[in-house]
Chains A and B, each alone.
Chain A
Amino acid sequence: MSTYQKNKLSVNNIYKSFGDISVIDDVSLELKENEFVSLLGPSGSGKSTIFNIIAGLIKPDKGKVYIEDMDFTGRSGRVSYMYQKDLLLPWKKIIDNAALPLVIKGTKKKEAREMVKGYFKIFGLEGFEYKYPFQLSGGMRQRAALMRTYMFSKDIILLDEPFGGLDAITKRRMQYWLLDVLSNLNASIIFITHDIDEAIFLSDRVYILSDRPARVKTEIKIDLPRPRKNQVITTPRFNEIKKDIINIL
């Protein structure tokens, strides 16, 4: 990673309340090119609302969202967004699910299929192109969902607890797999999680959020070397960072 990285996305002093309940209280975030940033906070702290604002699905009461220095506040269709649920369409084969964003943009089905075909290998789904989602395991469905997410926008990807619904072993494998895939793609990622280990293992930086209303408590740089292997979670440095985070939370 280069020492100077371009700013991909910045969220400037956003506020949001629903009715009387303040959900987001002056949150500012930054995402640089090729960076992996996590938002770590307790459940129900408004992390998903922040994502909805970045994705343009919700307008903030105050504050702005800039993507590559352009104002994208309240405008959807720029960044890709993946949820905890895979949200694959059960009536479409995996290849058509992955091609969905292209079809929405107006590409013909046949062309879209051609365009996504090449990515099945990278995402470890070779041979499953013409299966239906129910024929895949949970982990594979998440991979397919990530692939679809990637097909929509290749540079900025929001991941909202994508592995939250998986069992611990599969989750660990998927995290490792994600790092591996990302090393082949030029993507900037914001990742929501309430799992401290996960945040440290995956991220370059972690924003720690407070309980509702969400505020950025602090920002922590994760200086563990990359590429990270599974063993990294048992190193003293890892535990040091973890201790810090627990103290802040």
Chain B
Amino acid sequence: MRKLENIENRIIPITFLGILIFLWYFVVERGIIQRFILPSPVDAVTTLFRILPEIKHHLIVTLTEAFYGLIFAIVLAVALAVLMDNILMLKRALYPLLVISQTIPILVLAPLFAMWFGLGKFPKIIVVMLVCFFPIIVSLLEGFDSVDKDLINLMKSMGASKIKIFTMVKFPASIVNFFTGLKVAATYCIMAAFIGEWMGGKAGLGLYMMRAKKSLRIDKVFAVVLLIVILSMVLFKIVSILQRLLMPWNNEKQ
């Protein structure tokens, strides 16, 4: 029964997507919208395969930036969340700043970082970090906060120290929240690296796409967009699989 429902859950969005893509294809193939304004989905896919050798180098650069940015964001977010949860003063002082940091448009920051740190990978890694850091730390902090008070009391009544309560209860209880944040972060990290490159760089998909845009190669632009969507979805899936492997107790829920 559940399996059937699952299939149904998948069929609906896939069919809908299929209809949209077909409409897009139809509109372009029939010449209702001209090709140099909107390439057809077939063009985007064939172009992607055609330019793949040429963008391989850029792809690797973008992936490297996204990867390091995400890793650093995870490390920093976890460390800071632990500190903020244990030192109330720190939490009160930092939390508003964290929120404010997210309101500054990344499009402004990216070129600034390029000016300060040059055109290499480093400023892009910072952009990725900034984007990915927030969802992880916010969900972690919320996780720490939402641990059952009775559970903590129970641990106390058994004479557990603050550190033991943290490592044995609070942290494992918040892993679900951590993964929720990580899923958001993983979806964003490629796009963030891309924005960083777009605003100035020597290599990467963002740079490649800017060049394509300037030479009015819209088919290439679409091909790169397609690539980014695929990469982000793959990353999201990897995180989901990781979550299932690391949290066997959570799999049967629903």
Q: Which residues of A are at the interface with B, using a C-beta cutoff of 8 A?
A: 52, 55-57, 76-77, 79-81, 83, 85, 87, 89-92, 100-101, 103-105, 132-135, 152
Is the Cβ of B252 less than 8 Å from the Cβ of A134?
yes
Which 3 residue pairs across A and B have the least CB separation, nearest first? A77-B159, A81-B157, A55-B157
Which of B2-10, B105-113, B145-153, B232-240 lies at the interface with chain A?
A: B145-153
Interface residues in chain B, defined as those with a beta carbon under 8 Å from any beta carbon in chain A:
148, 150-151, 153-160, 164, 168-169, 172-173, 175, 247-250, 252-253
A-B contact pairs, 19 of them (CB 8 A): A52-B153, A57-B153, A57-B156, A57-B157, A76-B156, A76-B159, A77-B157, A80-B157, A81-B157, A85-B148, A85-B150, A87-B154, A89-B173, A91-B172, A92-B249, A103-B168, A104-B158, A104-B159, A104-B160
B156 and A135 contact, CB distance less than 8 A: no
| Docked CA distance A81–B169 (Å) | 17
**Majority secondary structure, B binding face:** helix
- Tell whether, in the assembled complex, residue A80 and residue B158 are in contact, meaning their CB atoms are under 8 Å apart: yes
Please give, as numbers and ranges, the residues of chain B lying within 8 Å of A132 by CB-CB distance.
Answer: 248-249
B157 and A76 contacting across the interface, CB-CB below 8 Å: yes
Q: Would you call A91 and B249 a contact (CB within 8 A)?
A: yes
CA of A152 to CA of B156 in the docked complex: distance in angstroms? Answer: 12
How many A-B Cβ pairs are below 8 Å? 58
A interface secondary structure, majority: loop
Contacts of A103 in B (CB 8 A): 168
Q: When chains A and B are docked, how far (Å) is the Cα of A177 from the Cα of B252?
A: 29
With A57-B153, A85-B148 already in contact, 12 other A-B pairs whose C-beta atoms are closer than 8 Å: A56-B157, A77-B157, A81-B157, A83-B154, A87-B154, A100-B168, A104-B155, A104-B158, A104-B160, A104-B164, A132-B249, A134-B253
Nearest opposing residue in chain A for B252, CB measure: A134
A134–B253 Cα gap in the complex (Å)? Answer: 8
Residues of A within 8 A of B155 (CB): 104
User: Is A89 a contact partner of B158 (Cβ separation < 8 A)?
Assistant: no
B146 CB, min distance to chain A CBs, angstroms: 14
* Contact between B249 and A83, CB atoms less than 8 A apart: no
Which residue of B159, B172, B253 has the most chain A CB atoms within 10 A of its CB atom? B159
Chain B positions within 8 Å of A52 at CB level? 153
In the complex, the answer to whether A89 meets B159 with C-beta atoms within 8 Å is no
Query: By the criterion CB–CB under 8 Å, are B148 and A87 in contact?
Result: yes
A89 to B151, CA, bound (A): 9
Assuming A104-B168, A134-B253, A135-B252, is B158 touching A87 (CB within 8 A)?
no
A79 to B154, alpha carbons, bound, how many Å?
11
Q: Which residue of B lies closest to A52 (CB)?
A: B153
Name the residue on B nearest A135 (C-beta): B252
* A115–B204 CA distance with the chains assembled, in angstroms: 58
Smallest CB–CB gap between B67 and chain A, Å?
28
Query: Does B252 contact A152, Cβ atoms closer than 8 Å?
Result: no
A87 and B150 form a contact (CB under 8 A)? yes
Are the CB atoms of A105 and B159 closer together than 8 Å?
yes
* Residue ID in chain A nearest B151 by CB atoms: A87
